[in-house]
């Protein structure tokens, strides 16, 4: 787990500030107390409320108004939970080629290139499904079947 992701997990509310009851995650960064039903918000929830109330804003303003560190805002952008509006002065960068991105880690071209590089090793690890699967069958070595006929069966 990334250090920033661990930091996000450590910043989630666990206990209610009003009564000390345990909080349960609802959706969109909102947690609800099992005892008094009050709501608490994690970093994403605070950002979401701010953007809902004030509209699009630069990351520095979001940081100042919500108290959410810029590193966490950037992580939400990289994971596609937030996006930068088209026409913005600032964007995040593709981790491979450095081009501008509204959200995510890699641009489409680099994603295709990375996926293509993974295809070779992935095909080497791909197995064949049995046609008639039976449990506890014997195993054999892959290779020429005629070669195997001369071996003694155990």
pLDDT tens-digit map of 85-132: 888 888 889 999 999 999 999 999 999 888 888 777 666 666 666 677
Looking at residue 23, the DSSP 8-state letter turns out to be E
What stretches of the chain show up as alpha helix (H) in DSSP?
A: 3-10, 43-54, 59-66, 70-78, 108-125, 145-149
pLDDT tens-digit map of 7-39: 777 889 999 999 999 999 999 899 999 999 999
pLDDT tens-digit map of 130-154: 677 665 566 666 665 555 555 555 5
**Contact, 68 vs 45, CB < 8 A?**
no
Handedness of CA 31, 33, 36, 40 (dihedral sign): negative
């Amino acid at each position: 787990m990334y250090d920033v992701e661990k930091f996000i997990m450590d910043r989630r509310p666990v206990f209610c500030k009003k009564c000390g009851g345990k909080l349960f995650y609802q959706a969109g960064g909102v947690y609800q107390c099992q005892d008094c039903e009050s709501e608490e918000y994690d970093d994403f929830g605070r950002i979401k409320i701010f953007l809902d109330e004030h509209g699009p804003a630069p990351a520095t303003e979001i940081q100042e108004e919500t108290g959410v560190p810029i590193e966490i805002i950037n992580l939400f952008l990289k994971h596609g939970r937030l996006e930068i509006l088209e026409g913005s002065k600032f964007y995040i960068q593709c981790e491979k080629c450095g081009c501008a991105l509204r959200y995510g880690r890699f641009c489409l071209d680099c994603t295709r290139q990375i996926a293509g590089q993974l295809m070779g090793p992935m095909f080497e690890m791909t197995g064949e499904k049995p046609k008639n699967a039976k449990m506890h069958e014997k195993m054999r070595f892959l290779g020429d079947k005629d070669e195997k006929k001369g071996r003694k069966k155990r």
